[in-house]
Homo-oligomer: A and B are copies of this chain.
Amino acid sequence: MSVTAAKGFTAAGIAAGIKENGNPDLALVVNNGPRRAAAGVFTSNRVKAAPVLWSEQVLKSGQVSAVVLNSGGANACTGPKGFQDTHATAEKVAEVLGRGAVEVAVCSTGLIGVLLPMDKLLPGVETAADQLSEHGGEKAAIAIKTTDTVHKTAVVSGKDGWTVGGMAKGAGMLAPGLATMLVVLTTDADLDGDVLDKALRAATNVTFDRVDSDGCMSTNDTVLLLASGSSGITPEYDEFAEAVRAVCDDLGQQLIRDAEGASKDIKVEVVNAASEADAVEVGRSIARNNLLKCAIHGEDPNWGRVLSAIGTTSAAFEPDRLNVAINGVWVCKNGSVGEDRELVDMRYREVHIVADLAAGNESATIWTNDLTADYVHENSAYSS
Protein backbone atom coordinates (compact mmCIF):
# COMPACT_ATOMS: atom_id res chain seq x y z
CA MET A 1 0.00 0.00 0.00
CA SER A 2 3.07 2.20 0.12
CA VAL A 3 2.47 5.90 0.85
CA THR A 4 -1.32 5.49 0.86
CA ALA A 5 -1.40 2.89 3.61
CA ALA A 6 -1.74 5.68 6.15
CA LYS A 7 -5.06 7.53 6.14
CA GLY A 8 -5.21 11.06 4.82
CA PHE A 9 -2.97 10.53 1.78
CA THR A 10 -3.62 10.17 -1.92
CA ALA A 11 -1.07 9.39 -4.60
CA ALA A 12 -0.62 8.80 -8.30
CA GLY A 13 2.06 7.55 -10.67
CA ILE A 14 1.96 8.19 -14.41
CA ALA A 15 4.05 8.24 -17.59
CA ALA A 16 4.60 11.87 -18.46
CA GLY A 17 7.08 11.23 -21.25
CA ILE A 18 10.16 12.32 -19.32
CA LYS A 19 11.66 8.88 -19.93
CA GLU A 20 12.11 8.25 -23.62
CA ASN A 21 11.02 4.62 -23.26
CA GLY A 22 7.53 5.60 -22.12
CA ASN A 23 7.79 4.02 -18.65
CA PRO A 24 6.11 5.70 -15.66
CA ASP A 25 8.22 8.65 -14.55
CA LEU A 26 6.12 11.04 -12.45
CA ALA A 27 4.64 10.52 -8.99
CA LEU A 28 2.55 12.75 -6.78
CA VAL A 29 1.85 12.25 -3.07
CA VAL A 30 -0.65 14.54 -1.38
CA ASN A 31 -1.31 15.04 2.32
CA ASN A 32 -5.02 15.77 2.80
CA GLY A 33 -4.62 16.53 6.49
CA PRO A 34 -5.92 17.60 8.84
CA ARG A 35 -2.22 18.03 9.71
CA ARG A 36 0.50 18.74 7.18
CA ALA A 37 3.51 18.13 9.41
CA ALA A 38 6.71 16.91 7.80
CA ALA A 39 10.41 16.24 8.26
CA GLY A 40 13.18 15.62 5.76
CA VAL A 41 16.72 14.32 5.56
CA PHE A 42 18.87 15.14 2.53
CA THR A 43 22.16 14.14 0.96
CA SER A 44 25.28 15.44 2.68
CA ASN A 45 26.92 15.77 -0.73
CA ARG A 46 27.92 19.42 -1.12
CA VAL A 47 26.96 19.29 -4.77
CA LYS A 48 23.19 19.21 -4.35
CA ALA A 49 20.58 18.91 -7.08
CA ALA A 50 18.11 21.75 -7.60
CA PRO A 51 15.18 19.78 -6.07
CA VAL A 52 17.27 19.13 -2.93
CA LEU A 53 18.07 22.83 -2.56
CA TRP A 54 14.38 23.62 -3.02
CA SER A 55 13.01 20.94 -0.70
CA GLU A 56 15.48 21.79 2.06
CA GLN A 57 13.89 25.25 2.11
CA VAL A 58 10.37 23.82 2.05
CA LEU A 59 11.10 21.55 5.01
CA LYS A 60 12.31 24.42 7.17
CA SER A 61 8.68 25.30 7.86
CA GLY A 62 7.96 21.73 9.01
CA GLN A 63 4.91 21.73 6.68
CA VAL A 64 4.48 19.78 3.45
CA SER A 65 1.22 19.49 1.52
CA ALA A 66 2.50 17.48 -1.42
CA VAL A 67 5.56 15.81 -2.88
CA VAL A 68 6.17 15.59 -6.61
CA LEU A 69 8.80 13.13 -7.77
CA ASN A 70 10.21 12.42 -11.20
CA SER A 71 12.52 9.78 -12.58
CA GLY A 72 14.23 10.19 -15.94
CA GLY A 73 16.42 13.13 -14.90
CA ALA A 74 18.16 14.23 -11.70
CA ASN A 75 18.07 17.97 -12.40
CA ALA A 76 21.49 18.15 -10.75
CA CYS A 77 24.32 20.39 -11.99
CA THR A 78 21.87 22.25 -14.15
CA GLY A 79 22.54 25.78 -12.92
CA PRO A 80 19.98 28.55 -12.43
CA LYS A 81 17.70 27.12 -15.15
CA GLY A 82 17.51 23.83 -13.26
CA PHE A 83 16.45 25.62 -10.10
CA GLN A 84 13.84 27.58 -12.04
CA ASP A 85 12.48 24.29 -13.38
CA THR A 86 12.14 22.87 -9.87
CA HIS A 87 10.41 26.05 -8.76
CA ALA A 88 8.05 25.91 -11.73
CA THR A 89 7.25 22.28 -10.94
CA ALA A 90 6.32 23.16 -7.36
CA GLU A 91 4.22 26.10 -8.58
CA LYS A 92 2.38 23.83 -11.00
CA VAL A 93 1.57 21.33 -8.24
CA ALA A 94 0.44 24.17 -5.97
CA GLU A 95 -1.79 25.51 -8.73
CA VAL A 96 -3.54 22.25 -9.53
CA LEU A 97 -4.00 21.35 -5.85
CA GLY A 98 -4.87 24.83 -4.63
CA ARG A 99 -2.02 24.88 -2.10
CA GLY A 100 1.01 27.07 -1.61
CA ALA A 101 4.19 26.24 -3.55
CA VAL A 102 6.22 26.69 -0.37
CA GLU A 103 4.55 23.50 0.91
CA VAL A 104 5.45 21.39 -2.15
CA ALA A 105 8.58 19.26 -1.93
CA VAL A 106 10.26 18.19 -5.17
CA CYS A 107 12.41 15.10 -5.79
CA SER A 108 14.21 14.10 -8.99
CA THR A 109 16.33 11.10 -9.98
CA GLY A 110 18.17 10.09 -13.11
CA LEU A 111 21.09 11.41 -15.14
CA ILE A 112 23.05 14.37 -13.76
CA GLY A 113 23.73 17.40 -15.93
CA VAL A 114 20.68 17.33 -18.16
CA LEU A 115 17.73 19.72 -18.03
CA LEU A 116 14.27 18.21 -17.50
CA PRO A 117 11.79 18.29 -20.41
CA MET A 118 9.43 20.77 -18.76
CA ASP A 119 7.06 20.65 -21.72
CA LYS A 120 6.31 17.07 -20.69
CA LEU A 121 6.71 17.37 -16.95
CA LEU A 122 4.25 20.20 -16.33
CA PRO A 123 1.33 18.63 -18.24
CA GLY A 124 2.24 15.40 -16.41
CA VAL A 125 1.58 17.10 -13.11
CA GLU A 126 -1.99 17.83 -14.22
CA THR A 127 -2.52 14.24 -15.33
CA ALA A 128 -1.14 12.93 -12.04
CA ALA A 129 -3.38 15.27 -10.05
CA ASP A 130 -6.40 13.95 -11.96
CA GLN A 131 -5.47 10.41 -10.99
CA LEU A 132 -4.82 10.97 -7.28
CA SER A 133 -6.30 8.09 -5.30
CA GLU A 134 -6.26 6.51 -1.86
CA HIS A 135 -5.04 3.42 -3.68
CA GLY A 136 -2.34 5.19 -5.72
CA GLY A 137 0.65 4.29 -3.53
CA GLU A 138 1.73 1.35 -5.65
CA LYS A 139 1.67 3.32 -8.88
CA ALA A 140 3.63 6.14 -7.27
CA ALA A 141 6.30 3.65 -6.15
CA ILE A 142 6.55 2.29 -9.69
CA ALA A 143 6.89 5.75 -11.25
CA ILE A 144 10.05 6.63 -9.30
CA LYS A 145 12.07 3.59 -10.43
CA THR A 146 15.27 4.16 -12.44
CA THR A 147 17.52 1.09 -12.68
CA ASP A 148 15.46 -0.55 -9.95
CA THR A 149 14.26 -3.99 -11.03
CA VAL A 150 11.41 -3.90 -8.50
CA HIS A 151 9.48 -1.16 -6.76
CA LYS A 152 9.91 -0.92 -3.01
CA THR A 153 7.25 -0.34 -0.39
CA ALA A 154 6.82 -1.11 3.31
CA VAL A 155 4.14 -0.66 5.96
CA VAL A 156 4.12 -0.97 9.75
CA SER A 157 1.00 -0.42 11.84
CA GLY A 158 0.85 0.64 15.48
CA LYS A 159 -1.26 -1.47 17.79
CA ASP A 160 -3.89 1.21 18.36
CA GLY A 161 -4.82 2.21 14.83
CA TRP A 162 -2.08 4.33 13.28
CA THR A 163 0.23 3.42 10.43
CA VAL A 164 3.59 4.29 8.89
CA GLY A 165 4.03 3.41 5.23
CA GLY A 166 6.48 4.33 2.53
CA MET A 167 8.10 3.87 -0.84
CA ALA A 168 11.71 3.97 -1.98
CA LYS A 169 13.71 3.95 -5.16
CA GLY A 170 17.39 3.18 -5.42
CA ALA A 171 19.56 0.52 -6.94
CA GLY A 172 23.02 2.03 -7.08
CA MET A 173 25.07 4.85 -5.59
CA LEU A 174 23.96 3.66 -2.17
CA ALA A 175 26.30 5.14 0.39
CA PRO A 176 26.50 6.68 3.82
CA GLY A 177 25.28 10.18 4.18
CA LEU A 178 22.28 8.56 2.60
CA ALA A 179 22.02 5.85 0.05
CA THR A 180 21.23 7.38 -3.32
CA MET A 181 17.58 7.13 -3.24
CA LEU A 182 14.31 8.85 -2.89
CA VAL A 183 12.09 7.81 -0.01
CA VAL A 184 8.68 9.14 0.98
CA LEU A 185 7.18 7.94 4.26
CA THR A 186 3.68 8.81 5.40
CA THR A 187 1.83 8.39 8.66
CA ASP A 188 -1.63 9.16 9.95
CA ALA A 189 -0.30 9.53 13.48
CA ASP A 190 -1.03 12.93 15.00
CA LEU A 191 2.45 14.37 15.54
CA ASP A 192 4.19 17.65 14.91
CA GLY A 193 7.23 18.33 12.74
CA ASP A 194 9.74 18.28 15.58
CA VAL A 195 8.74 14.79 16.66
CA LEU A 196 8.79 13.60 13.05
CA ASP A 197 12.24 15.10 12.59
CA LYS A 198 13.63 13.40 15.68
CA ALA A 199 12.20 10.02 14.74
CA LEU A 200 13.30 10.30 11.10
CA ARG A 201 16.89 11.26 11.92
CA ALA A 202 17.19 8.49 14.49
CA ALA A 203 15.86 5.98 11.96
CA THR A 204 17.95 7.00 8.95
CA ASN A 205 21.10 7.10 11.08
CA VAL A 206 20.94 3.34 11.72
CA THR A 207 19.29 2.21 8.47
CA PHE A 208 19.83 4.08 5.18
CA ASP A 209 23.05 5.62 6.48
CA ARG A 210 24.43 2.11 7.04
CA VAL A 211 23.60 0.83 3.59
CA ASP A 212 26.70 1.28 1.44
CA SER A 213 26.43 -0.55 -1.84
CA ASP A 214 29.23 1.11 -3.79
CA GLY A 215 30.68 3.92 -1.67
CA CYS A 216 29.31 6.61 -3.95
CA MET A 217 27.16 9.44 -2.65
CA SER A 218 24.38 11.01 -4.67
CA THR A 219 23.50 14.62 -5.31
CA ASN A 220 19.78 13.89 -4.91
CA ASP A 221 19.19 11.73 -1.82
CA THR A 222 16.00 12.67 -0.06
CA VAL A 223 13.96 11.00 2.69
CA LEU A 224 10.69 12.66 3.63
CA LEU A 225 8.23 11.81 6.40
CA LEU A 226 4.75 13.35 6.19
CA ALA A 227 2.05 13.18 8.90
CA SER A 228 -1.63 13.73 8.20
CA GLY A 229 -2.83 13.25 11.78
CA SER A 230 -6.00 11.70 10.36
CA SER A 231 -5.97 8.72 12.72
CA GLY A 232 -6.44 11.17 15.58
CA ILE A 233 -3.94 9.13 17.59
CA THR A 234 -0.72 10.45 19.10
CA PRO A 235 1.44 7.37 19.76
CA GLU A 236 4.18 7.18 22.38
CA TYR A 237 7.40 8.50 20.88
CA ASP A 238 9.33 5.26 21.33
CA GLU A 239 6.67 3.19 19.67
CA PHE A 240 6.39 5.59 16.76
CA ALA A 241 10.15 5.91 16.34
CA GLU A 242 10.46 2.14 16.27
CA ALA A 243 7.80 1.93 13.54
CA VAL A 244 9.66 4.52 11.45
CA ARG A 245 12.93 2.65 12.01
CA ALA A 246 11.31 -0.64 10.99
CA VAL A 247 9.93 0.82 7.76
CA CYS A 248 13.30 2.41 6.95
CA ASP A 249 15.11 -0.83 7.74
CA ASP A 250 12.75 -2.81 5.51
CA LEU A 251 13.18 -0.36 2.61
CA GLY A 252 16.96 -0.25 3.15
CA GLN A 253 17.13 -4.03 2.89
CA GLN A 254 15.12 -3.88 -0.33
CA LEU A 255 17.63 -1.37 -1.73
CA ILE A 256 20.55 -3.67 -0.95
CA ARG A 257 18.82 -6.69 -2.43
CA ASP A 258 18.20 -4.74 -5.66
CA ALA A 259 21.65 -3.12 -5.94
CA GLU A 260 22.98 -2.88 -9.46
CA GLY A 261 24.64 -6.05 -10.64
CA ALA A 262 25.02 -7.52 -7.15
CA SER A 263 25.04 -11.25 -6.53
CA LYS A 264 25.70 -11.12 -2.77
CA ASP A 265 24.28 -9.09 0.11
CA ILE A 266 27.02 -8.62 2.67
CA LYS A 267 26.26 -7.91 6.33
CA VAL A 268 29.36 -6.41 7.95
CA GLU A 269 28.95 -6.58 11.71
CA VAL A 270 31.64 -4.87 13.77
CA VAL A 271 31.64 -5.91 17.43
CA ASN A 272 33.59 -5.10 20.57
CA ALA A 273 34.56 -1.66 19.32
CA ALA A 274 35.65 1.08 21.69
CA SER A 275 32.87 3.35 20.36
CA GLU A 276 29.94 3.18 17.96
CA ALA A 277 31.79 5.68 15.74
CA ASP A 278 34.76 3.28 15.59
CA ALA A 279 32.44 0.42 14.69
CA VAL A 280 30.82 2.44 11.90
CA GLU A 281 34.20 3.61 10.55
CA VAL A 282 35.54 0.06 10.43
CA GLY A 283 32.30 -1.28 8.94
CA ARG A 284 32.37 1.31 6.17
CA SER A 285 36.03 0.64 5.42
CA ILE A 286 35.36 -3.08 5.05
CA ALA A 287 32.21 -2.43 3.02
CA ARG A 288 34.10 -0.19 0.58
CA ASN A 289 37.07 -2.45 -0.07
CA ASN A 290 36.85 -3.35 -3.75
CA LEU A 291 39.24 -6.27 -3.42
CA LEU A 292 37.16 -7.83 -0.64
CA LYS A 293 33.97 -7.22 -2.60
CA CYS A 294 35.49 -9.04 -5.57
CA ALA A 295 36.61 -11.91 -3.34
CA ILE A 296 33.11 -12.30 -1.91
CA HIS A 297 31.77 -12.35 -5.45
CA GLY A 298 34.15 -15.20 -6.12
CA GLU A 299 32.98 -16.94 -2.91
CA ASP A 300 36.52 -16.66 -1.55
CA PRO A 301 36.60 -16.07 2.25
CA ASN A 302 39.64 -13.80 1.85
CA TRP A 303 39.92 -12.49 5.41
CA GLY A 304 43.28 -10.85 4.72
CA ARG A 305 41.39 -8.20 2.78
CA VAL A 306 39.17 -7.62 5.82
CA LEU A 307 42.25 -7.01 7.96
CA SER A 308 43.78 -4.74 5.30
CA ALA A 309 40.61 -2.66 5.37
CA ILE A 310 40.51 -2.48 9.17
CA GLY A 311 44.14 -1.38 9.14
CA THR A 312 43.35 1.78 7.18
CA THR A 313 41.03 3.14 9.91
CA SER A 314 41.72 5.25 12.96
CA ALA A 315 39.62 2.99 15.21
CA ALA A 316 41.04 1.68 18.49
CA PHE A 317 42.40 -1.85 18.07
CA GLU A 318 45.57 -3.91 18.33
CA PRO A 319 46.40 -5.84 15.12
CA ASP A 320 47.24 -9.00 17.04
CA ARG A 321 43.89 -9.07 18.82
CA LEU A 322 41.62 -8.85 15.76
CA ASN A 323 39.24 -11.70 15.02
CA VAL A 324 37.18 -12.21 11.88
CA ALA A 325 34.36 -14.66 11.19
CA ILE A 326 32.89 -15.27 7.74
CA ASN A 327 29.56 -17.09 7.75
CA GLY A 328 30.21 -18.34 11.28
CA VAL A 329 33.75 -19.61 10.78
CA TRP A 330 36.44 -17.72 12.72
CA VAL A 331 38.96 -17.66 9.87
CA CYS A 332 41.13 -15.09 11.65
CA LYS A 333 42.00 -15.27 15.34
CA ASN A 334 44.30 -12.83 17.12
CA GLY A 335 45.26 -11.22 13.84
CA SER A 336 46.52 -14.47 12.41
CA VAL A 337 45.34 -17.69 10.82
CA GLY A 338 42.27 -19.13 12.55
CA GLU A 339 39.89 -21.90 11.55
CA ASP A 340 40.27 -23.53 8.15
CA ARG A 341 38.91 -21.23 5.45
CA GLU A 342 37.73 -24.31 3.58
CA LEU A 343 34.98 -24.64 6.21
CA VAL A 344 33.29 -21.42 5.05
CA ASP A 345 30.14 -22.05 3.02
CA MET A 346 29.57 -19.11 0.69
CA ARG A 347 27.01 -20.54 -1.71
CA TYR A 348 24.13 -18.35 -0.54
CA ARG A 349 23.30 -14.78 -1.42
CA GLU A 350 23.71 -13.44 2.10
CA VAL A 351 27.24 -13.29 3.48
CA HIS A 352 27.87 -12.41 7.12
CA ILE A 353 31.21 -10.94 8.14
CA VAL A 354 31.92 -10.32 11.82
CA ALA A 355 34.93 -8.15 12.69
CA ASP A 356 35.79 -8.34 16.37
CA LEU A 357 38.00 -5.41 17.37
CA ALA A 358 38.49 -6.65 20.96
CA ALA A 359 38.60 -3.05 22.11
CA GLY A 360 35.28 -2.37 23.87
CA ASN A 361 31.57 -3.11 23.91
CA GLU A 362 30.10 -1.11 21.02
CA SER A 363 28.91 -2.44 17.69
CA ALA A 364 27.41 -1.45 14.34
CA THR A 365 26.23 -3.20 11.20
CA ILE A 366 26.84 -1.94 7.66
CA TRP A 367 25.26 -3.59 4.63
CA THR A 368 26.95 -3.74 1.25
CA ASN A 369 27.10 -5.81 -1.92
CA ASP A 370 29.73 -7.67 -3.83
CA LEU A 371 31.49 -6.12 -6.82
CA THR A 372 30.61 -7.89 -10.03
CA ALA A 373 31.16 -7.73 -13.75
CA ASP A 374 27.44 -6.96 -14.02
CA TYR A 375 27.93 -3.86 -11.85
CA VAL A 376 30.68 -2.70 -14.16
CA HIS A 377 28.56 -3.44 -17.21
CA GLU A 378 25.50 -1.62 -15.87
CA ASN A 379 27.49 1.44 -14.89
CA SER A 380 29.67 1.64 -17.96
CA ALA A 381 26.90 1.05 -20.48
CA TYR A 382 24.21 3.13 -18.76
CA SER A 383 24.64 6.86 -18.29
CA SER A 384 23.18 7.61 -14.86
Contacts and interface: CB of A to CB of B under 8 A. Distances in A.
A113 interface: yes
B47 A311 contact: yes
A45 B319 CA distance: 10
Q: Is the contact region of chain A dominated by helix, strand, or loop, or is it mixed?
A: loop
Contacts of A111: 304
Given A214-B291, A291-B214, A376 B376 contact: yes
Interface stretch (A249-257, A268-276, A293-301): A293-301
A219 interface: yes
B77 A335 contact: yes
A272 to B, nearest CB: 17
B336 A379 contact: no
Contacts of A377: 373
Interface in A32-54: 44-48
Interface string A325-338: 00000011011110
Nearest to A214: B290
A77 B380 contact: no
Given A77-B304, A79-B336, A297-B380, A48 B291 contact: no
A303 interface: yes
Contact of A332 (B113, B114, B115, B372): B113
Given A112-B307, A373-B376, A335 B172 contact: no
Contacts of A288: 215
Given A291-B172, A294-B376, A335-B47, A76 B304 contact: yes
A295 B78 contact: no
A337 B111 CA distance: 12
B308 A383 contact: no
Given A47-B311, A217-B308, A308-B216, A78 B337 contact: yes
A11 B336 CA distance: 32
A164 interface: no
A74 interface: yes
Contact of A114 (B214, B215, B297, B337): B337
B371 A303 contact: no
A173 interface: yes
A311 B219 contact: yes
A251 to B, nearest CB: 22
A320 interface: yes
Interface string A302-332: 1111011111110001011010000000011
Contacts of A379: 290-291, 294-295, 298
Contacts of A290: 214-216, 290, 371, 375, 379
A244 B207 CA distance: 49
A172 B294 CA distance: 12
Given A319-B48, A332-B77, A291 B173 contact: yes
Contact of A380 (B78, B217, B295): B295
Interface in A9-47: 44-47
Contact of A219 (B177, B219, B307): B307
Contact of A300 (B115, B376, B383): B383
5 contacts: A46-B311, A113-B307, A216-B291, A219-B307, A219-B311
Given A115-B337, A298-B379, 9 more contacts: A44-B312, A45-B312, A46-B310, A78-B337, A81-B336, A113-B307, A219-B311, A290-B371, A291-B379
- For the complex of A and B, list the 9 residue pairs with the smallest distance between their C-beta atoms, beginning with the closest: A112-B304, A298-B380, A47-B311, A79-B336, A294-B379, A373-B373, A45-B311, A46-B311, A294-B380
